[in-house]
Structure 1
Amino acid sequence: MDVHASEKEQIEQLRKWWKENGTSLVTGVLLGLSVLLGVKAWFGYQDSQAANASNLYAQMMAELSSQQNEQVRSHANDIIGNYSGTGYAPLAALALARLAVDEADPASAQIQLEWALDHADSDEIRHLARLRLVRVLIDQKDWTGAAARLAEAGDAGAYRYLYDELRGDLALAQGDAAAARAAYKAALEAMPPQSPASGFLTTKYENVALAGGEDDSQ
């Protein structure tokens, strides 16, 4: 057997295969590398965005505690405008809503709370935004809007008593003392034991019972 001839045939076959498949192979490898590098770059970008947003949020909270409202507003808008994909953006919107409420601007508060609700990345933030939004809607006498937002809550788990309390507030604002009393009672029953809010909620419940002329033992 001619070994050299066999080797030449193998080399020729390899050259032929490379000519036919080499370009696609290189393209595939390069494409795979580009995807890998792209994924790494994306995660690096995401980490950078989150770090920047975190720093701004820390500054904003320090300013909020010292009532530097203009700085709070500036940093919050920066977070929402440039880092809307991070979990800090909904929190910044909540801060802006708080400023708006303090400044007696419920319309602006509603806008920020709706944005926070739509962009929240956790159930906790969604519940917090919705609860505050319902309060703002009740204050604006938007009964229909408040009822609709309350209906979105579903069972609400650990937040149930807070929603029940707001249902009571809404009913009371509409002059329905019986519904308010029932909602406050449900809130008290769902409230965690020894909650610091129990005293205030109990007072609400008892006041409605007295105003409605109903026996509290019912």
Structure 2
Amino acid sequence: MSDSYRTEEEQVEALKAWWRENGKSTLVAIALAVMGVFGWQGWQKQQQADQSTASAIYQNLLTAANGDNGQATLAQIATANHLADTLKADYTGTTYAHFAALYKAKFAVDDNDLNAAAAELQWVLDNGAIDEVRIQARLRLAKVLLAEGQMDEAMKLTVGENKGYSAAFSEVKGDILAAQGDSVGALSVYQQARDIAATGEGGQSLLINLKIQQLENAQQSDENQTGNDESAANDSAKKGDV
């Protein structure tokens, strides 16, 4: 208390007056602080519990998806799809849910349902997946859109952060150009993809080399055909002169 109070009685009375004016707000502040601490601890425990439950569901999903000896039955795929739906609905913000959607996209592709696969991959992109998972989803979605004939939309997905998957994205870009009839552009991009893959930046070097060889053979065949046509035209012209 302040030194201006000359007696203990005055100090006590001043304390009582202060408490009447400020006591309730002080208790509320203390209560809120305590609630904040316990609320944060409770939230952390709930998050840990959610992660643990989501992890268990995802493990069951993997077991069903892998099936017996790596070959899942229709019933096991149905179970895996159901578990994936549960993760997406109840644990949306977790990486387990995002991987579950990737599995659903795979099942859809296996079932030749490209629209459903595209929807699952777009869901991953729209629901806060970590960067690496987003990159995988973009890559797979580009392939699905290419298969659906949506060349422009597929090409847009090849632009952006591709860390660790640069060769794979370049390969898809080459596939799109090849599908559009630009064999020269496709060959150039495939060669870039091959060079990137050699550094370990993702991509299947053997498959890329095969695509390069096919385009080079096709171009060589075209050049040979052009040469034959020109030779035939020259021979015809000479005969005409005679």
Given the two structures, how large is their TM-score scaled by the length of structure 2? 0.82
What runs of 5+ residues in structure 2 fail to find an aligned partner?
1-5, 224-242
Alignment match, 1:131: 139
Structure 2: distance between partners of 1:196 and 1:22: 68
1:30 is displaced (CA, Å) by 0.7
Match of 1:35 in 2: 36
Listed as ranges, the matches of 1:91-130 within 5 Å are 91-130=99-138
Check conservation: 2:165, 2:203, Cα contact below 8 A.
Answer: no
2:98 is the counterpart of 1:90: yes
Partner of 1:147: 155
The count of aligned residue pairs is 209
The one-letter code sitting in structure 2 at the alignment partner of 1:49 is D
In structure 2, the residue matched to 1:64 is 65
Q: Contact (CA 8 Å) 1:164, 1:186: kept in 2 or not?
A: yes
Aligned partner letter, 2:62: M
Kept in 2, the 8 Å contact 1:49–1:86? The answer is no
- What does 1:45-84 correspond to in 2, within 5 Å? 45-66=46-67, 67=72, 68-84=76-92
Give 1:211's aligned residue.
218
DSSP 3-state at the match of 1:121 = coil
Give yes or no for contact 1:97–1:110 (8 Å, CA) kept in 2: yes
- Residues 100 and 106 in structure 1, CA contact (< 8 A), matched pair in contact too: yes
Range with bigger deviation, 201-210 or 53-62: 201-210
1:121/1:196 Cα in 2 relative to 1: closer, same or farther (>3 Å)?
closer
Q: How far is the alpha carbon of 1:193 from its aligned partner?
A: 4.3
CA-atom RMSD, angstroms?
A: 1.8
Are residues 1:9 and 2:10 paired? Answer: yes
Deviations 1:103-135 (A, max 9, x none): 000000000000012224321101111111000
Question: What secondary structure does 1:158 align onto?
Answer: coil
Give the aligned partner of residue 19 of structure 1. 20
Distance in 1 (alpha carbons) for counterparts of 2:109 and 2:62: 17
Aligned mate of 2:207, from 191, 200, 203: 200
| Counterpart residue number, 1:188 | 194
**Residue 171 (structure 2) aligns with:** 165
Contact 2:93 2:128 in 1 (8 A): no
Deviates more, 1:202-211 or 1:107-116: 202-211
What is the alpha-carbon distance in structure 2 between the residues aligned to residue 106 and residue 120 of structure 1?
Answer: 23
SS at match of 1:212: helix
Give 2:228's aligned residue.
none
CA distance in 2, matches of 1:100, 1:82: 21
Deviations 1:70-111 (A, max 9, x none): 100110000001111211111010000000000000000000
Aligned-partner residue type, residue 158 of structure 2: L
Match of 1:179 among 185, 192, 216: 185
Counterpart CA distance in 2 for 1:108 and 1:167 is 23
Per-residue deviation, 1:175: 1.0
Question: Is there any run of 5+ residues in structure 1 with no aligned partner, and where?
Answer: none
Q: Deviations over 1:33-62 (max 9, x none)?
A: 112221111111111111111100000011
**TM norm structure 1:** 0.91
